[in-house]
Amino acid sequence: MQQRLVALVLLVAAASAACASRPAASAFVGDVRVALKHVDTGKQLSRPELIRRAMRRSKARAAALSAVRSRRGRFFPGASDPPQQQAPGATAVRPSGDLEYVVDLAIGTPPQRVSALLDTGSDLIWTQCAPCASCVTQPDPVFAPAASASYEPARCAAPLCSDIPHHGCLRPADTCTYHYNYGDGTTTLGVYATEPFTFASSSSGGGGDALSLSVPLGFGCGSVNVGSLNNGSGIVGFGRNPLSLVSQLSIRRFSYCLTPYASGRRSTLLFGSLAGGVYGDAAGDGPVQTTPLLQSPQNPTFYYVRLTGISVGGRRLRIPESAFALQPDGSGGVIVDSGTALTLLPAAVLAEVVRAFRAQLRLPFANGSSADDSVCFAVPAAWRRSASASAQVAVPRMVLHFQGADLDLPRRNYVLDDHRRGRLCLLLADSGDDGWTIGNLVQQDMRVLYDLEAETLSFAPAQC
């Protein structure tokens, strides 16, 4: 099997050997405003159904994040990528490919459409490529390098090749190969190459003329792909390591505004200088708050923040500071992640939060639910029959306290009213380890700005 995979990669490399060399990518200086769509857009599902699907994806994501943070992830080796070529400080396994938001872009000359999943928890940019020995189902035609005049395989000595945790070199073509593994079992193997990436952008007001901006990027052209690409053709890593789009284009600020799943509205991703001014207009509905970004040498991809406490119903819970801390060995800590729906807490902390809600709600757990499961409460039958059911159960306010900032969550960002099942569910889950993840449900209808110059994260309520 390994010989077959290597032979296929050689075929892809040989097919593009005649491509002309192009200059290396330069720092990005433009402004881009692109639309994001949720992976379940257009499926005519109710909010409870959409969130239940996201909950299932979050469980896989939680296990993958836990594997990365605890460094339990095991790389599935191939003939062309011996373990000794793993870069210092890099993890062998990244979070899952079962993500939540898709960005439409195009690759090559002429441009070929690609629907890529946005992932702030990983770095590699990649898409499935033809000829494809093993490809998962995707919405668009598979990218064909042979049909692009600008496709160029990276050489073995290229800087980005050495940044890939598991890479190899095919001789005599002198072609860089990669093998990237995600914690849910998703795997991609192929040639690392360069191509122009085209983003469809719009004016800052959202109603101006459409723009087309093209920039050269290194990316994985995967001809052997296994696992999950939830309604996508590949993944665009927005993490902090050199392989990511953020790093390759030297982007110092990016932001997004995520719409609720059932709203029918597109979310927005901004990067370039445009992202730095997104809080200065009249569209915001609340004050801007800012907290420092942290980075772990052991897990440098992730965006960590310093959480200091949680309040439920106006009462600050007695949770020791050590429960939030990023440890020197890379364990623990709190990351902000666009690819996880639920907010994930260590089991002991989750139990404390659930106890606080249960004491104030005075409701029993729903059948099949407990503090260790999906955290749902059974509601009175009268509530279920009410036309205005969401107003019938008063839910304690939940506030996340960060260093220098307090995030007072809107009810819909941490509660699911499931009328059909007679449940009220908290949008929280067990992280599976001592780490935390601030998921995208918490971030909905907020403008979130990652400022890598100031090393801060800012957020403000908004109608995205």
Which residue, among 454, 25, 17, 16, has the nearest Cα to 253 in the 3D structure?
A: 454
Name the strands in the sheet holding 423-426, side by side, starting at the edge strand that comes first in the sequence: 376-378, 423-426, 415-418
Query: Distance (Å, rounded) from C-alpha 180 to C-alpha 167?
Result: 9
Element (H, E) at 104: strand 101-107
Query: Distance (Å, rounded) from C-alpha 298 to C-alpha 330?
Result: 5
Out of 31, 40, 98, 119, the active site residue is 119
Query: Distance (Å, rounded) from C-alpha 60 to C-alpha 220?
Result: 23
Query: Distance (Å, rounded) from C-alpha 100 to C-alpha 122?
Result: 14
Helix, strand, or coil (residue 184)? coil
Query: Distance (Å, rounded) from C-alpha 235 to C-alpha 219?
Result: 10
Nearest 5 degrees, angle CA 193-CA 109-CA 256? 75
Query: Distance (Å, rounded) from C-alpha 411 to C-alpha 154?
Result: 49
Query: Distance (Å, rounded) from C-alpha 64 to C-alpha 74?
Result: 11
Element (H, E) at 70: helix 47-70
Helix, strand, or coil (residue 278)? coil
Is residue 119 among the annotated active site residues? yes
Which residue, among 159, 85, 94, has the nearest Cα to 126 in the 3D structure?
A: 94
Helix, strand, or coil (residue 108)? coil
Out of 123, 337, 433, 434, the active site residue is 337
Query: Distance (Å, rounded) from C-alpha 175 to C-alpha 132?
Result: 18
Active-site residue list: 119, 337
